[in-house]
Structure 1
Amino acid sequence: MKEPYVRKHYNRKEKGTAAENGAVQYLSSSGYMILERNWRCRTGELDIIAEREDCIVVVEVRSRSGELLQGTPEESVNARKINQVRSTTQVYLHMKGYEERRVSFDVISVLLNDDLSLASLSHIREAF
């Protein structure tokens, strides 16, 4: 007798990791060099730090699964989050000696299927 399909409920961390893995794969295949993932300091965390064409690209990854009742992933990047990412980026640039480098703040929006595979991915360059 065949086992009935049981939908696994993934936690927030598992969903976030799946979305970030998809974003890294997309960025790598698009010519970005990944420098850091989940870089942390006292001011916060940066999801992905990449480099492309002599530009440091700080990528905020946002995801949703199931219904979009809470809005799209990119709509969740509010003023507080933008300020936190900018201030954390300043710490990163200072610690790495990259103060003179050009910086872009991008958002990657990911919609996940029930099994955590990617349903869609959208890259918003210079989002803020």
Structure 2
Amino acid sequence: MEDVNAHLSFPLAKDRRKAVGKIGEDVAAQHLQQLGYLLVERNWRCRSGEIDLIVRDGEELVIVEVRARTNPTRFGSAVEAITPRKCRQVRELAMIYLKQCNALRCSMRFDVVAVTLNSDGTVREVKHLQGAF
């Protein structure tokens, strides 16, 4: 895994947030691939938003929401960042994706991968919640 420390040294909060998000997605993608999942899409976008990762777990299509945090005591854990509003948005995006791919009848689930980073950018914890919502 690449050294994440360089990514976290941005002076602006917005840049730091983007860097933490990218690291979280990198860690999540690697974690899922180590479990044998096949990466189908990364950062799939449409006008309504973005799906972080789309993977296959055998025959099942898995829509993955990735959350990353560096200071869970101050801002809450990565898992706590998954709000009902975010769940609705990801479900709506998944329907758009399935319509575009003509795959409305495929088996599908929604997972969350929550990545917690230490202040130095190293990975403290990865939680994978299958069928999270």
Task: Give the TM-score of the pair, scaled to structure 2.
Answer: 0.86
Q: 1:78 aligns with which of 74, 83, 94?
A: 83
Tell me how far 1:8 sits from its aligned partner. 2.7
| Ranges of 4+ aligned residues in structure 1 off by more than 6 Å | none
Could you say what secondary structure the match of 1:127 adopts? coil
Q: Which protein is bigger by CA-based radius of gyration?
A: 1
Which ranges of structure 2 fall in alignment gaps of 5 or more residues?
A: 1-7
Q: What is the alpha-carbon root mean square deviation over aligned residues?
A: 1.4
1:57 is aligned to 2:66? no
Q: 1:66 aligns with which of 67, 71, 82?
A: 71
CA distance in 2, matches of 1:67, 1:33: 30
Tell me how far 1:114 sits from its aligned partner. 2.4
CA shift digits 1:24-78 (9 cap, x unpaired): 0000010100000110111110000000121110010011103422211111111
Could you say what secondary structure the match of 1:101 adopts? coil
> Conserved in 1, the CA contact under 8 Å of 2:72 and 2:116?
no
Which ranges of structure 1 fall in alignment gaps of 5 or more residues?
A: 1-6
* Identical residues among aligned pairs (%): 37
Q: Give the letter aligned to residue 33 of structure 2.
A: S
Aligned residues: 122
1:117 is aligned to 2:117? no
Task: Give the TM-score of the pair, scaled to structure 1.
Answer: 0.89
Question: In the alignment, what sits opposite 1:102?
Answer: 107
